[in-house]
């Protein structure tokens, strides 16, 4: 037991999880913004906008996240010299956030679209009938109701994002939890299973409140019809 | 219920009750010429020509599937048309964009299923159009909305959400929402068809009140009582065509076409 507890003093485990939470936080904001724009493209009346949105979703959603983050770090930065500022570490962190945001935006888009499907067609017709154009109607009438109908799928996407933030390991974010875990396993092969369990339980502890929160929010914010 | 209150000096609410006699020097408010629409093989609108003059109340009757709802929705371009032109107050209805939105703002629409904005309060439902489309100041829009809600008899529900109101109340709010845009014409697409019987009259009374004030109205309905009481002209549609047009008196007592006779005969035996 003492043997096991020593890993908490040797390694900064809460700090490692904190890096994942930060990755998740910034990627979630990026994914939400980009995903909303994509959803608007997909529900717009303009066929070419719909095609752009659909192409993005089908390309990005069907590409492994590892490849996207590797692309950000090795191709965008390594080959093309694209940086997002900060020092070496901060740049990798930001490139990983970019990869996570770009990837999860496709899922956010589809979650919002499922929310749009919960809004009766009559709502859009009534909005158009009082003279609102597409964007004002989307902003004032459709999206507010769509978000409220999409809380559960958006929550699922957030949960996936929290866990997928460990893929930032391939983006050379060495401080996040799966990288730290890998290091620990290398040096403490005597307690491999406890180390795995520590990180597994750590993620469960982070993720469970998100699930509870989204269930509660989806009930509280449901649009009465 | 049908208190006659003029809420605005806009010429929409002229106080002349004898609107049948009104000439329209400025031309018709709504004008359809050679309008055709197909749903696949179904010719849902077959060469429709129709003019509605200012202050006129036109009721469209006809069996289910005769195209009357489609006609009503086409005037607001909620349905596209294949051929022909639709003009609102002399302006041809554009197919897309800001010009279309602007023209729609002049056309009030009341739906069968009310379609109040479900996440907004009753008051916000009525103020949204004036504020966001017309750029009216919030307080001014609120005053206007409260007057209109007062007039349709639901001012005491202003802070509730649509789902908390009865169907009849919701439909009266929908009428207030349309009126808040000071429309040149109001379209009613079967406004009482989704209502429980005891709520139909409260909505019809509101509509009769509007008609008496001189609002230009085009009403698709199955309520023959409303047609008799408030219509200047009855249009009978069948199979996508306008089969017959007459005053309510003429239409109900002496229909000319076999289709209309058949339709009215069924109504009488069914009631």
> How high does pLDDT run on average in chain A?
94
Is it the case that residue B63 has pLDDT exceeding 50?
A: yes
Cβ distance B113 to A123 less than 8 Å, yes or no, reads no
In percent, the amount of chain A with pLDDT more than 70 equals: 100
Per-residue confidence band for B1, with pLDDT thresholds at 50, 70 and 90: very low
- Please write the tens of the pLDDT for every residue from A176-209: 999 999 999 999 888 999 999 999 999 999 999 9
Predicted local confidence at residue A161, as pLDDT: 97
| Span A125-173, pLDDT tens digits | 999 999 999 999 999 999 999 999 999 999 999 999 999 999 999 998 9
- Greater confidence, B270 or B14? B270
Residue B181, pLDDT above cutoff 60: yes
The tokens describing A223, both together, are 């649009």
ipTM: 0.85
Banded pLDDT at A225 (limits 50, 70, 90): confident
Contacts of A119 (CB under 8 A, 6+ apart): A142, A145, A146, A149
**Where is average pLDDT lowest: A71-80, A138-147, B133-142?**
A71-80
Cα dist. B171→B5, B121, B153, B184, B195 in Å?
A: 19, 14, 11, 20, 9
Residue B14 has what pLDDT? 38
Instruction: Kindly report the nearest CA distance between residue A122 and chain B, in angstroms.
Output: 5
**Between chains, do A145 and B105 touch, taking CB under 8 Å as contact?**
no
**Residue among B69, B75, B98, B101 with most chain A CBs within 10 A, to mutate:** B101
Residue B18 has pLDDT above 70, yes or no: no
Q: Is residue B189 pLDDT above 80, yes or no?
A: yes
Of A125, A141, A224, the CB nearest to B111: A125
* Full-model pTM: 0.85
A-side interface with B, Cβ within 8 Å? 45, 120, 122-123, 125-133, 136, 140-141, 144-145, 148, 223-225
Q: What is the pLDDT of residues A7-17, one digit of tens each?
A: 888 899 999 99
Mean pLDDT of chain B: 88
B184 contact residues in A (CB cutoff 8 A): none
Residues of B whose CB is below 8 A from A127:
117
Q: What is the three-state SS of chain B? A: CCCCCCCCCCHHHCCCCCHHHCCCCCCCCEEEEEEEEEECCEEEEEEEEEEECCCCEEEEECCCCCCHHHHHHHHCCCCCCCEEEEEECCEECCCCHHHHHHHHHCEEEECCCCCCCCCCCHHHHHHHHHHHCCCCCHHHHHHHHHHHHHHCCCHHHCCCCHHHCCHHHHHHHHHHHHHCCCCCEEEEECCCCCCCHHHHHHHHHHHHHHHHCCCCEEEECCCHHHHHHHCCEEEEEECCEEEEEECHHHHHHCCCCHHHHHHHHHHHHHC
Give the angle subtended at the CA of B202 by the CAs of B19 and B150, to the nearest 5°. Answer: 80
Whether residue A40 has pLDDT greater than 50: yes
What is the pLDDT confidence band of residue B97, given thresholds at 50, 70 and 90? confident
pLDDT at B6 over 60: no
Q: Which residue of A has its CA nearest to B177?
A: A130
Does residue B268 have a pLDDT over 90? Answer: no
**pLDDT class for B246, splitting at 50, 70, 90?**
very high
Which chain B positions have a beta carbon within 8 Å of A49's beta carbon?
Answer: none
């Amino acid at each position: 037991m003492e043997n096991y507890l020593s890993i908490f003093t040797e390694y900064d485990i809460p700090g490692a999880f904190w890096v994942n939470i930060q990755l998740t936080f910034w990627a979630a904001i990026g994914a939400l913004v980009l995903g909303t724009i994509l959803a608007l493209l997909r529900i717009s009346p303009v066929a070419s906008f719909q095609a752009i949105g659909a192409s993005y979703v089908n390309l990005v959603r069907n590409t492994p996240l590892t490849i996207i983050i590797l692309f950000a770090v090795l191709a965008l930065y390594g080959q093309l010299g694209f940086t997002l500022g900060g020092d070496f570490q901060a740049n990798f962190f930001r490139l990983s956030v970019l990869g996570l945001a770009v990837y999860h935006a496709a899922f956010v888009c589809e979650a919002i679209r499922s929310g749009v499907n919960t809004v009766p067609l009559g709502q859009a017709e009534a909005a158009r009938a009082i003279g609102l154009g597409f964007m004002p109607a989307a902003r004032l009438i459709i999206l507010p109701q769509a978000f409220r109908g999409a809380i559960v799928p958006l929550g699922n996407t957030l949960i996936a994002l929290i866990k997928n933030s460990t893929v930032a390991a391939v983006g050379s974010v060495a401080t996040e939890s799966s990288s730290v875990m890998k290091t620990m396993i290398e040096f403490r092969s005597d307690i491999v299973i406890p180390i795995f369990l520590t990180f597994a339980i750590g993620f469960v502890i982070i993720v469970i409140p998100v699930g509870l929160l989204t269930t509660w929010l989806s009930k509280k914010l449901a649009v009465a019809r | 219920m049908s208190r006659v209150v003029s809420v605005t000096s806009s010429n929409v609410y002229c106080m002349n009750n004898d609107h049948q006699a009104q000439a329209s020097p400025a031309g018709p408010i709504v004008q359809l010429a050679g309008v055709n629409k197909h749903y696949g093989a179904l010719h849902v609108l077959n060469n429709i020509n129709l003019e509605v003059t200012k202050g006129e109340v036109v009721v469209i009757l006809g069996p289910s599937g005769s195209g009357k709802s489609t006609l009503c929705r086409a005037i607001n371009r909620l349905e596209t048309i294949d051929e022909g032109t639709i003009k609102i107050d002399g302006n041809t209805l554009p197919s897309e964009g800001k010009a279309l939105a602007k023209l729609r703002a002049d056309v009030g629409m009341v739906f069968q299923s009310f379609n109040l904005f479900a996440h907004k309060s009753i008051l916000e439902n009525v103020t949204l159009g004036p504020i966001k489309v017309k750029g009216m100041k919030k307080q001014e829009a609120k005053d206007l909305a409260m007057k209109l809600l007062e007039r349709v008899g639901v001012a005491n529900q202003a802070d509730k959400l649509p789902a908390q109101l009865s169907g009849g109340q919701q439909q009266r709010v929908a009428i207030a929402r349309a009126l808040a845009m000071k429309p040149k014409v109001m379209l009613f697409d079967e406004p009482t068809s989704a209502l429980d019987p005891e709520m139909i009259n409260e909505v019809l009374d509101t509509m009769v009140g509007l008609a008496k004030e001189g609002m230009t109205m085009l009403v698709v309905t199955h309520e023959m009582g409303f047609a008799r009481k408030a219509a200047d002209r009855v249009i009978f549609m069948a199979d996508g065509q306008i089969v017959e047009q007459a005053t309510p008196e003429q239409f109900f007592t002496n229909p000319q076409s076999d289709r209309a006779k058949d339709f009215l005969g069924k109504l009488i035996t069914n009631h």
